Amino acid sequence: MQKRNSRAWFHRFGSSSYFYRIASRWGPRTGWGALVLMVTGIFMGLFVAPPDYQMGDSYRIIYIHVPTAWMSLSVYVLMALAAAIGLIWKMKVSFHVSRACAPIGAAFTFCALITGSLWGKPTWGTYWIWDARLTSELVLLFLYMGYMALDKAIPDRNTASQATAVLSLVGLVNIPIIHYSVEWWNTLHQGSTVIRMDGPSIDAQMLVPLLITTVAMNLYFVSVLFSRVRCELLNLERRTQWVREVING
C-alpha cells in the first residue's frame, strides 16, 4: 500500500494542472525567502565576516562566486534528471522542467565564470587562465547553450524534448570533471574549503554567510524555475480546460 501511494504521489507531478498549482503556491514564497536570505548573507559577508589573512577583503566575492558555481552544477544535474524522467516515464512536465532549467543554469554558470575572473585578477594576477576547473566550467556553459540552441532548432516539441534530453545526459560526464578537477590535475584553483572529509577549513564567521547565500541561491532558483514552468504550461496548454479555469478563476 505504501509503495502504491508513493508511486501515485510521483505520477501526480506529471499532471500539468497539479504542478501548476504547486508552482503557483510555492514560487512567490521561495522568492521572498531568497530575497531575505540573500540580503542577510551579503550583509554578514561584507560587514560581519573578518578579512582573510592572505587576500584581505578581495575574498568577499566568494559570497556570490561559490554559490553560483555550486548552482551551475546542481541545476545541470536536475536538468538531466528531469529529462531522464521524461524519457523513461513519458512525463511532459519533466521535459518542461528540464527546458526551464537551461537558461537559469546558464546564467549561474556565466556569473560563476565572471566572478571567478574578477577574483582571479588579484589572486593569480590574470583574469583568465586555461586552468582545468575554469575550462571545464566554460564547457558547462557551452553545454547549456547547446541545449538551448538544439531546443530552438527543432520545431516539433516532442522531438526537441527527446534530443535535448539525450544531450543533457551525455553532458553529465562533465560534472565530475569539474568537481574533481582540482584533485586530478595541477591547478591554480584552490581546493574545497567547505565540503571536506575532515570538516570545513574556513572560519565559522566566513562560513555562515556563505551557507546563507547558498540557501538563498537555491530558493531563488526554485522561484524562477516555477515561474518559467508555469508560463510554459499556460502557453502550451492554453486550449485545455484547466487553463481556461485558471484564466477565468
DSSP code at position 202 = S
Q: Give tens-digit pLDDT for 152-200.
A: 999 999 999 999 999 999 999 999 998 888 776 666 556 555 555 455 5
Q: What are the C-alpha distances in Å from 220 to residues 46, 128, 212, 248? A: 20, 28, 12, 29
Look at residue 185 in the predicted model and tell me its pLDDT. Answer: 62
Residue 49 · residue 206 · CB < 8 Å: yes
Radius of gyration in angstroms for the set of CA atoms belonging to the chain, rounded to a whole number: 20
Beta-carbon contacts of residue 99 (< 8 Å; ≥ 6 apart): 151, 161, 164, 232
Torsional sign, CA 22, 233, 16, 172: negative
Torsional sign, CA 77, 80, 84, 85: positive
DSSP code at position 53 = T
- Spatial distance between the Cα atoms of 72 and 83, rounded to a whole number of angstroms: 17
For the chain, the distance separating the N- and C-terminal CA atoms, rounded to the nearest angstrom, is 36
SS3 224: helix
pLDDT for residue 78 is more than 90 = yes
Look at residue 127 in the predicted model and tell me its pLDDT. Answer: 85
Look at residue 248 in the predicted model and tell me its pLDDT. Answer: 83
Write down the pTM of the prediction: 0.91
